[in-house]
């Protein structure tokens, strides 16, 4: 497995070889950071794009101001609960100072007992379930939580688009999809909206049911499905002229897993951490250029990984002895930090940042509104 990691890292470094490192005199000391990344099987695209983002950020600031070098220990989660549990144990045995996880909510919650025993500070970039930060007091959530996304989606549909009846398509068997859909439903009804159509896509013949549905009273559908499933929904809804709001990460996943159906995503709305036409920070155009080489422009996974590194860097610079207690405290509650898409901060383990509602045009994300 180490050969796979090495090849991935060599590829990423070759892509970023033109980047200039800041001139800091190395101290000869290194700080080992663990990366929990799905590098094989179904979720490997999340891991690969995330590695591009974090290696890029590391390339820009590999050394602390005192010359200590930040190095990575990578563990493949194999896109499974068992693999994630083994990878976590491996990193803890390696005595890493902190862990950055590119694992989703399902596999993260599946190893809840292992995480409860861990005291190693951890940043999660893709696990959006609200239960994540309550597993223990050492986990920080750099991505928006399901609660925040559901709230933004509900108010966008009701208050910005003035739509009073909505459809919901979700997958009951998927932890992320089910949780987000249920929270959205609760919030939307709470602001006097109606869900006139709800479809569990894990049921047999779900796509046929969608085709037969009249939907004349449904002006918009909120989809919490994976990209491939959302592509099927968009294909069916296109002639019905029903607007669709997609959950975060959909376009990043689509460019990896639904390449033949990408055109169907044009015209849809999406909740994201960024927009294609945002200004971004000093590294934004550099990272975009790097991602373009891999046909991964607008990768929320890479952008979130970059932001996770900025939080890590902030904590390490402010904890001179790299004590885990100090690092964890700053992961949980931070000052304002410059991220790829704007400033953010941490409060009680949850991120405070801009959330974009974008419209997909020519497969780029055109900013519709920004919420805080």
Predicted local confidence at residue 279, as pLDDT = 87
Q: Domain 2-144+281-352 adopts which CATH fold?
A: Rossmann fold (3.40.50)
Q: What is the pLDDT of residue 11?
A: 53
- State how far the Cα of 256 lies from the Cα of 243, in Å rounded to an integer: 23
pLDDT score at 17: 46
pTM over 0.85: yes
Maximum CA extent, the chain: 68
Every domain of the chain with CATH number 3.40.50.2300 lies at 2-144+281-352, 146-272
CATH code, 146-272? 3.40.50.2300
pLDDT at 19: 42
Question: For the chain, which ranges sit under pLDDT 70?
Answer: 1-22, 372
What is the per-residue pLDDT for 20? 42
CA distance 12 to 10: 5
Task: Specify the pLDDT at position 8.
Answer: 55
Distance CA(200)–CA(172), nearest Å, equals: 6
pLDDT score of 278:
87
- The per-residue pLDDT for range 92-145, each reduced to its tens digit, is 999 999 999 999 999 999 999 999 999 999 999 999 999 999 999 999 999 999
Phi-psi region of 371 (alpha: psi -120 to 50; beta: other; left: phi over 0): beta
Residue 22: per-residue pLDDT: 55
């Amino acid at each position: 497995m180490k050969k796979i990691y090495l090849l991935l890292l060599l590829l990423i470094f070759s892509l970023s070889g033109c980047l200039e490192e800041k001139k800091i005199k190395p101290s000869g000391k290194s700080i080992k950071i663990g990366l929990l990344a799905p590098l094989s099987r179904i979720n490997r695209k999340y891991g690969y794009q995330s590695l591009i983002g974090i290696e890029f950020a590391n390339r820009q600031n590999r050394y602390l101001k005192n010359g200590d070098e930040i190095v990575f220990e990578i563990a493949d989660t194999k896109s499974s609960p068992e693999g994630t549990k083994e990878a976590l144990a491996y990193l803890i045995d390696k005595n890493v100072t902190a862990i950055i996880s590119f694992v989703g909510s399902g596999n993260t919650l599946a190893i809840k007992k292992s995480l409860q025993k861990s005291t190693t500070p951890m940043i999660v970039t893709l696990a959006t379930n609200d239960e994540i930060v309550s597993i223990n007091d050492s986990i920080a959530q750099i991505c928006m939580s399901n609660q925040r996304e559901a709230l933004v989606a509900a108010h966008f549909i009701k208050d910005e688009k003035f739509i009073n009846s909505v459809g919901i398509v979700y997958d009951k068997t998927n932890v992320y999809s089910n949780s987000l859909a249920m929270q959205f439903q609760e919030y939307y009804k709470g602001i006097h909206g109606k869900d006139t159509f709800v479809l569990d896509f894990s049921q047999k013949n779900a796509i046929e049911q969608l085709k037969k549905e009249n939907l004349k009273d449904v002006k918009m559908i909120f989809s919490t499905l994976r990209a491939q499933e959302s592509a099927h929904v968009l294909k069916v809804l296109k002639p019905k002229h029903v607007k669709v709001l997609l959950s975060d990460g959909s376009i990043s996943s689509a460019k990896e897993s639904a390449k033949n159906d990408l055109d169907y995503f044009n015209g849809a709305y999406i909740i994201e951490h960024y927009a294609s036409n945002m200004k971004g920070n000093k590294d934004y155009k550099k990272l975009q250029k790097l991602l373009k080489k891999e046909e991964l422009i607008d990768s929320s996974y890479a952008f979130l990984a970059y932001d996770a590194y900025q939080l890590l860097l902030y904590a390490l610079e402010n904890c001179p002895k790299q004590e885990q207690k100090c690092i964890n405290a700053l992961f949980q509650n931070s000052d304002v930090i410059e991220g790829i898409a704007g400033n953010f901060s941490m409060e009680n383990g949850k991120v405070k940042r801009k959330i974009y509602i974008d419209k997909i045009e020519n497969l780029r994300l055109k900013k519709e509104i920004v919420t805080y």
